[in-house]
Every structure is written in C-alpha cells, then in structure tokens.
Amino acid sequence: MTLHAQSTLETYYDILHVKDDASFDEIRQSYRLSLLQSHPDKVHKSFEIPTSGEVNLEDRFMKVQKAWETLGDSRSRALYDDKLRSLRCDELVADDVALEDMMVDEDNNRKDLDFCYQCRCGDYFVISWPELEEMGYELCRDPEDEISVRAVEGLPGSVILPCCSCSLKIRLLINTDSRIKL
C-alpha cells in the first residue's frame, strides 16, 4: 500500500489491476501479466517503451513484486486488508470526537440518555446509552450526576457515527477512564 502526501491511496490491488475480493488465482494471473509488462528484461523484447519511462518501469516492477509478496500469501493479505480497511475509515470521517465532548440529552426517566454532537449541517451525530451498552460498554451513573464508562475487554475505543441528515461521519473516541458530567 502506498500512501502519498496528497492522500491518494494506491493499493496493491490497484497495482495488480484486481478487485479487493479477487481470488488467489485471479491475483496470481494478474501478477504474472503485470510482471511481463513491467519486467525490465521482458518489456524491451515485447513492448516499445519510451526511454523516459525506464526509471518508472523499474519502480513499477518493484511495486508489482511487493504487491505479489503481500497478496500472494493469505496471512499477509489478511493483515494488509485490515490495514486498508482502517485507512479507508480514516479517510471517511470528518472529525474525531471524544465521548466526553458530546452534549448529553437526558430523557425524563433518567436512564435514556443521548449523546449528541452538532454537525456542520446543523443536525446532530447521536448515540444513545442503550446503543453503547449493546456495543459492550457499561455506563455507570453516580449520585453526583456523573457518568463513568467501562469497556468489556477487547472492545475498540472508537465507533463511526453518521450524521442524521447529511453524509458526514465522525469517529467517536471512547475513553474508558472518562467521567461525563450531566
């Protein structure tokens, strides 16, 4: 995976011209074709390449090799796919917001709380107390009207929340040491 300063992401799948869900055989076939099209010794015999592109040809060949090393092995491919998913999530969020930075909207029965954060469009990103509990977070309310958050072991410390009206999303960061005042 190559991440440039402009935040354009060229994946190993792009380099080998296959889809993310391609089978091993499809990846291997595309690798072999890409190898023939970029190998310095093979290209000059098979294709006419301008001399100005020869330096890029070597870079291309190295990218094809690295892509195959990663995607050709099931274990390294799984790790790569996890990193890729994580990077794609990073690109999709408008902001990172801590749970304690959200406004608390309290219902009359004092158990139903909504945590809200205003979006640029004027509407809100919202997550409710029951939704947090369904995800495995335990929220405890003390007599001083503070809420503490505990997590079941192994839970991620963040969740992506969509705006109720527009296409923006935020990453809600859940710090299990935080205390939220009502």
User: What gap in Å lies between CA 116 and CA 103, rounded to an integer?
Assistant: 5
pTM score, whole prediction: 0.49
Q: Which domain holds residue 170?
A: 95-181
Domain boundary among 36, 68, 92: 92
**Interval 70-106: pLDDT, tens:** 999 999 898 888 787 777 766 677 888 988 898 888 7
Single-letter residue type at 85 = R
Single-letter residue type at 89 = C
Domain boundary among 32, 65, 92: 92
pLDDT of residue 158: 77
118 with 42, same domain? no
pLDDT of residue 43: 64
Q: Is the dihedral of CA 36, 39, 40, 42 positive or negative?
A: negative
pLDDT of residue 89: 65
